[in-house]
C-alpha cells in the first residue's frame, strides 16, 4: 500500500518523489463552500432571476422548486458512491467504477467542459458588476470598452489562479466568507422589499397567474443553470476530512439550502417589481434596481461589490474542480500524465490549474472580441456549462445501480431512484434544444458544438479501450486507497 507521510499530510507515491494532493485538510464547512461557491446563489439573484421570469412568469419560484426535487434524485445517486468510496475528481471515477472506463472518460470530458464554461460565467459576471461599479463613478464609456472587459476578466482569473495554485484551504475559506457576506446582503434587501407593504402575499404567484405548464417546464432549464455545481464537493475526496461523511452531507445540503434561497429570492424579486415600470425580465442588475425602488439606495454599491466577489468565487471553484478532474484523469492516463503533476510545496495540481486557466482565458478572450460583454455572453457560456453538467448527471445516475450491483448491495429502491433521476433529467435536456419560441443563432448551434466536443472525448475514450481493464483497475485501487487513507 502507498505510504502516508504523517509529517506533512501528503500521500507519497510509490516512486517516493512525486507527492499527490494534501489529505484531511478541508473540514465540512470548507467542503460545503466548494459546492455552494460553484452553485453561486448570488449569481442567480443578481443575473438569472430576470431570465427565469421572462421564461416562466409568475411560476418562476415553482420551476426552482421542481429543479431542486429533480436534482435531489441525482444527488442521491451520486451519494451511493460518495458514502462508500472517495477520491479527487470523484464523479469521473464514480462513473468509471460503475460503467467502465469508456463512459467514465466521457463523464470526465463532460465535467471539464461544464467547469470551464461555468467558470467563464464567473468571469463575465465579475466583469458585468465591475462595469456597474465604474458606471456609478460616472465613466460609462470606459466601463463598456473591450480593454476594460478583458482587464476585468484577467484580474478575476489571475486572482483565482493564485488562490488555486497556492492552497486549496485558502481557496475554500475565501469562497465561504465572500459568499456568506454576499447572501447576507441579499437577504437584508429581501426583507426590506417583502415587508415594505405589510404582509407579503402575492396571489398572482401563488395561483400562477398567466403561467402554464409548458412555461414552467422551460423554466426548469433555466433553473438547472442556477443549481448545477452541487457535486463539486466530490472533487475534493483526497483533501476532505472524514470524506465519507462530510462529502455526502455537503452534496445534499448545498443543494437544499441554495434551492430554498432561490425559491425565496425569486418570489421576492417578482413581488418587488410587481406593478412597476421596471419589467423584471429586462433588468440587468435587479438587486440594484430594487434597492433604489425601496429607498435602500445605499445598498447598491455593497450589493454590486458582493455580486462581483461572488462571481470571483464561482470562477475559483470551477478552476479548483476542473483541475482536480483533469488531475485524476491524468493520473489514470485517461489524459496526458503531465496534468497529474502536483506542486512539491503547495501540494496542488499546478499543471492542471495552469492548463484550465489558459483554456478559460483563451476562450473568453475570443468570445469578447467577437461579442462585447453583456447578459448575452453570460447566457452563452452558462448554457454551454449546463450541457456539460447534464451529460455528467445522466451518466452518474445510470452508473449508480450498476456500481451497487457490482458490490452486491443493489436494492429495488436504488434502481427506482436512478430511473426517476434519469426521467426527470430528460425535461431540461429536451428543453435546452426544443424551446418556445425556437432558439435563434448562435444559441441554436450550441448543442452541436457540445456534441462535437464530446465526439472528441469519445475518440479519446476509444483510444484508451485497449487498456480499459488496466484503467478501471487503477480507478478501483485509487478509490480503495483513498477511502482507506481517509478512515485512518
> pLDDT of 90-118, one tens digit each?
788 899 889 988 899 999 999 999 999 99
Q: Which three cell numbers stand for residue 444?
A: 441554436
pTM for the model: 0.86
CA distance 133 to 152: 12
Strand partners, 22: 10
Go through the domains of the chain in sequence order and give each one's CATH number: 26-472 (1.20.1740.10)
**Phi then psi dihedrals of residue 369, to 5 deg:** -70, -35
My answer on whether omega of the bond before 442 falls inside 30° of 0, hence cis, is yes
3-state secondary structure of 94: helix
Strand partners, 4: 11
CA distance 288 to 345: 43
pLDDT by residue for the chain (488 residues), tens only, comes to 333 333 323 333 433 334 467 788 889 998 998 889 888 899 899 888 998 998 889 999 999 999 999 999 999 999 999 998 887 777 888 998 899 888 999 999 999 999 999 999 999 999 989 998 988 887 776 777 889 999 999 999 999 999 999 877 777 788 788 888 889 999 999 999 988 877 788 889 999 988 887 788 778 878 887 888 898 888 888 788 899 999 999 999 999 999 999 999 999 999 999 877 678 988 888 999 999 999 998 999 999 998 898 899 889 989 999 999 999 898 888 888 899 898 888 888 999 999 999 999 999 999 998 887 666 888 889 888 888 998 999 999 999 999 999 999 999 999 999 999 999 988 888 877 776 667 777 888 888 999 999 999 999 888 776 666 666 666 666 665 555 555 54
Q: How far is CA 241 from the centre of its chain?
A: 22
Q: Which three cell numbers stand for residue 485?
A: 487513507
Residue 332 CA neighbour count, 13 Å, CB half: 36
CA dihedral 313, 317, 323, 328 (to 10 degrees): 160
CA distance 128 to 163: 22
Question: Length of the chain, please?
Answer: 488
Look at the alpha carbons of 402, 405, 409, 412 in this order and tell me if their dihedral is positive or negative. positive
CA distance 473 to 101: 10
Amino acid at each position: 500500500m502507498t505510504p502516508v507521510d504523517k509529517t506533512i499530510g501528503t500521500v507519497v507515491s510509490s516512486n517516493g518523489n512525486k507527492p499527490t494532493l494534501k489529505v484531511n485538510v478541508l473540514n465540512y464547512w470548507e467542503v460545503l463552500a466548494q459546492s455552494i461557491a460553484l452553485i453561486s446563489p448570488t449569481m442567480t439573484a443578481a443575473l438569472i432571476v430576470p431570465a427565469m421570469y421572462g421564461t416562466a412568469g409568475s411560476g418562476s419560484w415553482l420551476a426552482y422548486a421542481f429543479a431542486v426535487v429533480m436534482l435531489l434524485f441525482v444527488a442521491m445517486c451520486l451519494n451511493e458512491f460518495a458514502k462508500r468510496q472517495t477520491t479527487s475528481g470523484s464523479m469521473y471515477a464514480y462513473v468509471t467504477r460503475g460503467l467502465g472506463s469508456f463512459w467514465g472518460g466521457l463523464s470526465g470530458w463532460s465535467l471539464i467542459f461544464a467547469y470551464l464554461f461555468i467558470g467563464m460565467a464567473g468571469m463575465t459576471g465579475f466583469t458585468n458588476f465591475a462595469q456597474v461599479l465604474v458606471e456609478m463613478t460616472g465613466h460609462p464609456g470606459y466601463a463598456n470598452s473591450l480593454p476594460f472587459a478583458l482587464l476585468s476578466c484577467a484580474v478575476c482569473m489571475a486572482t483565482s489562479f493564485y488562490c488555486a495554485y497556492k492552497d486549496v484551504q485558502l481557496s475554500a475559506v475565501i469562497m465561504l466568507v465572500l459568499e456568506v457576506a454576499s447572501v447576507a446582503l441579499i437577504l437584508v434587501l429581501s426583507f426590506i422589499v417583502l415587508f415594505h407593504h405589510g404582509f407579503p402575499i402575492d396571489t398572482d404567484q401563488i395561483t400562477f397567474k398567466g403561467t402554464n405548464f409548458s412555461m414552467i417546464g422551460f423554466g426548469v432549464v433555466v433553473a438547472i443553470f442556477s443549481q448545477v455545481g452541487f457535486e463539486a464537493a466530490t472533487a475534493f475526496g483526497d483533501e476532505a476530512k472524514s470524506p465519507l461523511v462530510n462529502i455526502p452531507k455537503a452534496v445534499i445540503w448545498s443543494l437544499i439550502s441554495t434551492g430554498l434561497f432561490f425559491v425565496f429570492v425569486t418570489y421576492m424579486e417578482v413581488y418587488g417589481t410587481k406593478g412597476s415600470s421596471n419589467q423584471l425580465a429586462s433588468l440587468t442588475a435587479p438587486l440594484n434596481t430594487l434597492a433604489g425602488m425601496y429607498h435602500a439606495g445605499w445598498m447598491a454599491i455593497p450589493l454590486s461589490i458582493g455580486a462581483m466577489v461572488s462571481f470571483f468565487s464561482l470562477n475559483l471553484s470551477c478552476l479548483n474542480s476542473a483541475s482536480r478532474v483533469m488531475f485524476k484523469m491524468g493520473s489514470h492516463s485517461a489524459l496526458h500524465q503531465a496534468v497529474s503533476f502536483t506542486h512539491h510545496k503547495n501540494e496542488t495540481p499546478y499543471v492542471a490549474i495552469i492548463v484550465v486557466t489558459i483554456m478559460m482565458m483563451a476562450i473568453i478572450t475570443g468570445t469578447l472580441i467577437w461579442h462585447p460583454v453583456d447578459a448575452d455572453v453570460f447566457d452563452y457560456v452558462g448554457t454551454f456549462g449546463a450541457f456539460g453538467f447534464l451529460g455528467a448527471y445522466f451518466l452518474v445516475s445510470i452508473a449508480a445501480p450498476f456500481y451497487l450491483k457490482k458490490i452486491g448491495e443493489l436494492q429495488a429502491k436504488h434502481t427506482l431512484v436512478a430511473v426517476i433521476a434519469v426521467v426527470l433529467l430528460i425535461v431540461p435536456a429536451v428543453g435546452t434544444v426544443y424551446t418556445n419560441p425556437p432558439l435563434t443563432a448562435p444559441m441554436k448551434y450550441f448543442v452541436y458544438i457540445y456534441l462535437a466536443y464530446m465526439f472528441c472525448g469519445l475518440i479519446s475514450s476509444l483510444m484508451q479501450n485497449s487498456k480499459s481493464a488496466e484503467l478501471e483497475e487503477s480507478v478501483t485501487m485509487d478509490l480503495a486507497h483513498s477511502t482507506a487513507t481517509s478512515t485512518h
